[in-house]
Amino acid sequence: MESTLRFIRGEIMGENTLNFRSTGIIGTEELRKLGLLPPEERLAKGPVAIVECPELIPCNICVDACHLKAITMEKIIDIPKVDWEKCIGCGTCVALCPGLAIFVVDLSKPDKALVTVPHEFLPAPKVSEEVWLLGRDGRRLGKGRVVRAWERNKTWVVTVEVPKELAMEVRAIWVEK
Amino acid sequence: MPCTRNLLSDRRIWSHPILTFKRGRKVKFFFEGREVEAYEGESIAAALYAIGVDIFSYSIKLKRPRGAFCMIGKCSSCFMKVDGIPNTRTCIEPVREGVKVERQKGLAEIPTNGGESDVEDEEVLETDVLVIGGGPAGLSAALATAKYGLKTVIVNEHFKLGGQLLKQTHKFFGSKDLFGGLRGFQIGEELSRKVMGNPNIKVLLQTVAYGIFRGGWVGLAGKNKLYRVKPKAVIVASGASENFLTFPGNDLPGVMGAGGAQTLMNEYGILPGDEVLTVGSGNVGLIVSYQLLQAGAKVKAIVEILPEIGGWFVHAAKVRRYGIPILTRHTLKAVWGRERVEGATIVQVDEKFRPIPGTEKDIECDLVLIAVGLTPDTRLFAQAGAVMRWVPEAGGPVPLRTRYLEVSIPGMYIAGDASGIEEATTAMLEGEIAGLSVVTKLAGPKAEVIERREKLLKFLWDEYRASPLMARAKAGKESVTVSEEEMEEIRKWNPPFVSFGVR
């Protein structure tokens, strides 16, 4: 009871669903509560999109971006709903999302996870080079190898190898000049 | 940090992840008698900033150094003497070969020789519709009126069309049919291209609508030419200006509007600073901070006086991922430096926004960006005597208007940020709605036009603005939107001094 009250009052950091409005960082718990996180079993099967878009933004670009119609919305201000079974983690929505809020996580490999992030900085990332892996707070969590990089309207979509335990932490890369 | 740069520095950005800067040919001009270089297509203010000029004038009374602030022709901070003409807004004055630019020290002298400012001609313009402002709202309005055969004139103070779309490098929210997913400058280019290719639209650049006169006349002043227009309808889409803040040192060069910095870096490819502190975490503060990082600057922090971030979470997440701290419950205490910002002191505030002594922190930086909201530019409505109301949620005094965007001056319409601060997508929607309203009024009600307008209105009010984060802006607009009958009643009590079109 006490913890529920503290949660409602926003005293438990990282658990209050609105905490991201004061930090600019969303936790996996918050994503799960909003229905934005695929179930573990789906994550283990292969690449899947994670839409970190928790607010009612009047925007439906991702819905049109998806050729498989895996992302749906009833009204333009709805939170995107991903059909995890339809999504193949192709990353098209990563390139097109105006909020740069979509990522692809692949936990199907035995040793490493693959995380796909949008990137709009110079220099352009190159396949097989090592880049910094950044957390949602910008912290450098280590280095990882780029396995795929492609560009659309100046947004790079970069897939990097990440230690499995960091698959839900790494959300950006930084390429050393 | 050098305070006065040597005019040999180059603050231009030569590589950028999003933009390719198409610079014109090199031109030589004179800054206080010294020959300097610029690229055609740059404004005088941008060209000067690029070579290291921080001080644009000295204040009237205390002769304090003053920098440029808004960069879009809305404030007076870049006033300089250009070819002998004082108080020239150098931020919207294109640089040209041989032009002589001088800083003003104190009150300007009245020009004695007219020189280039001589009025060569005066013309009476025949047009159905006059659109004032060439930004997203104005361009969308003109395209709507021109589509239905109405002769339309757009007047634009700037030497380029597109308004503030031109400096938006981020992709817009919205839906595909509303240009969603495109970057702002790409939308600006597309709208401008459509306007320039439309035979029903005439564009007057570097032209100011300076007043509304008895009998429904509007006065326009171009560079060397005056115009008188008696349109059947006027759509005013004059935009907004950035708000300023009070704090010690706020007049130091290097204290700039966030939008002003965005103009410099994204329209002209000039880095406004190396180390930046942003004040305000609304969408403008967040987006400009991200774009500064893209341009190669370091953003030290974004301070926000409220306990929550002002803008969309996704924009905040973008800057947080690259390590930019957003310090909520913090404000700016002072900015310091000799002739340019060298640093700022920030301080934590309590729940009543009072600074908490002992929590001050110094941040070294050469640029302090003010991103604390905008004020609608409604001066033409005030001058014309439109019934107005001060609405904090809209950003300032705005005219009452019908759902179809007609104000209490018959035949005068409003669209975009001038009607209350929102953003570019709503500006384009309002522009088209105002345009279609003019079509309905001048060409008679057509089913197709009414249907399109209703669709846009329904989408704007019931879907686009339905997000809780837009509740404030929506409430502001609601409070100044009246029914047609109410507007007739308002006109009874406040008889308009002037009207446009046949009534």
Whole-number pLDDT of residue A2 = 43
User: What average pLDDT does the segment B47-74 reach?
Assistant: 96
Q: Are residues A76 and A111 in the same domain?
A: yes
DSSP B49: H
Q: List, for residues B411-437, the tens digit of each pLDDT value.
A: 999 999 999 999 999 999 999 999 999
Cα–Cα distance for residue pair B40/B151, rounded to 1 Å: 32
DSSP B222: -
**% of chain A residues with pLDDT over 70:** 90
Cα–Cα distance for residue pair B304/B309, rounded to 1 Å: 7
Beta-strand pair B225-229/B121-125: parallel
Q: Are residues A16 and A46 in the same domain?
A: no
- How many beta carbons lie within 10 A of that of residue B478, not counting itself? 14
Contact by Cβ (8 Å): B156, B166? no
DSSP B166: G
Contact by Cβ (8 Å): B132, B138? yes
CA dihedral B293, B297, B298, B301 (to 10 degrees): -70
Question: Which residue in B has a C-alpha nearest to residue A76's C-alpha?
Answer: B463
Structural domains present in chain B: 26-116 (3.10.20.440), 122-241+375-493 (3.50.50.60), 255-374 (3.50.50.60)
CA A94 to chain centroid, in Å, comes to 9
Q: Are residues A6 and A83 in the same domain?
A: no
What is the interface size between A and B, counted as CB pairs within 8 Å? 135
Whole-number pLDDT of residue B110 = 86
Q: Are residues A21 and A96 in the same domain?
A: no
Residue B390 has which token pair? Answer: 């001060």
Partner B contacted by A149 (CB < 8 A): no
DSSP B116: G
Q: Are residues A65 and A152 in the same domain?
A: yes
Q: Are residues A18 and A69 in the same domain?
A: no
| φ, ψ for residue A9, nearest 5 deg | -75, -5
| φ, ψ for residue B138, nearest 5 deg | -65, -45
Asked if B314 lies within 8 A of A99 by C-beta distance, the reply is yes
Asked if A154 lies within 8 A of B17 by C-beta distance, the reply is yes
Q: Are residues A55 and A103 in the same domain?
A: yes
Cα–Cα distance for residue pair A106/B226, rounded to 1 Å: 65
Q: Is the pLDDT of residue A166 over 50?
A: yes
Domain that holds residue A12: 1-33
Whole-number pLDDT of residue B116 = 55
Give the confidence band of B111 by pLDDT, cuts at 50, 70, 90.
confident
Cα–Cα distance for residue pair B291/B274, rounded to 1 Å: 13
Q: Are residues A117 and A82 in the same domain?
A: yes
User: What average pLDDT does the segment B121-148 reach?
Assistant: 96
Q: Is the pLDDT of residue B479 over 70?
A: yes
Which chain A positions have a beta carbon within 8 Å of B17's beta carbon? 120-122, 124, 154
Contact by Cβ (8 Å): B283, B257? no
Q: List, for residues A106-160, the tens digit of each pLDDT value.
A: 999 999 999 999 999 999 999 999 999 999 999 999 999 999 999 999 999 999 9
Q: Are residues A65 and A125 in the same domain?
A: yes
Three-class secondary structure of residue A47 per DSSP: coil
Cα–Cα distance for residue pair A65/B377, rounded to 1 Å: 37
Mutate to test the interface with B, among A9, A71, A100 (most CBs of B within 10 A): A100
Residue B147 has which token pair? Answer: 């589509």
Which chain B positions have a beta carbon within 8 Å of A124's beta carbon? 17
Count, residues in chain B: 503
Is B372 buried (19+), middle (13-18) or exposed (0-12) by CB count in 10 A?
Answer: buried
Quote the pTM value: 0.95
Whole-number pLDDT of residue B3 = 40
Q: Are residues A24 and A72 in the same domain?
A: no
Asked if B467 lies within 8 A of A77 by C-beta distance, the reply is yes
Cα–Cα distance for residue pair B438/B433, rounded to 1 Å: 9
Positions of E strands within chain A: 48-51, 71-72, 81-82, 102-106, 112-119, 130-134, 140-152, 155-163, 172-174
DSSP B349: B
Q: Is the pLDDT of residue A7 over 80?
A: no
Q: Are residues A142 and A103 in the same domain?
A: yes
Across the interface, which of B308, B313, B324 has its CB nearest the CB of A54?
A: B313
User: What average pLDDT does the segment B209-217 reach?
Assistant: 96
Looking at this predicted complex, what is its ipTM? 0.94
Cα–Cα distance for residue pair B50/B44, rounded to 1 Å: 10
Whole-number pLDDT of residue A18 = 65
- Average pLDDT of chain B to the nearest whole number: 95
Among B416, B411, B432, B410, residue whose Cα is nearest residue B378: B416
Across the interface, which of A76, A96, A155 has its CB nearest the CB of B175?
A: A76
Q: Are residues A60 and A13 in the same domain?
A: no
Among A54, A131, A47, A28, residue whose Cα is nearest residue A94: A47
Beta-strand pair B240-242/B374-376: antiparallel
Question: Looking at the 3D structure of chain A, how many domains does it have?
Answer: 2
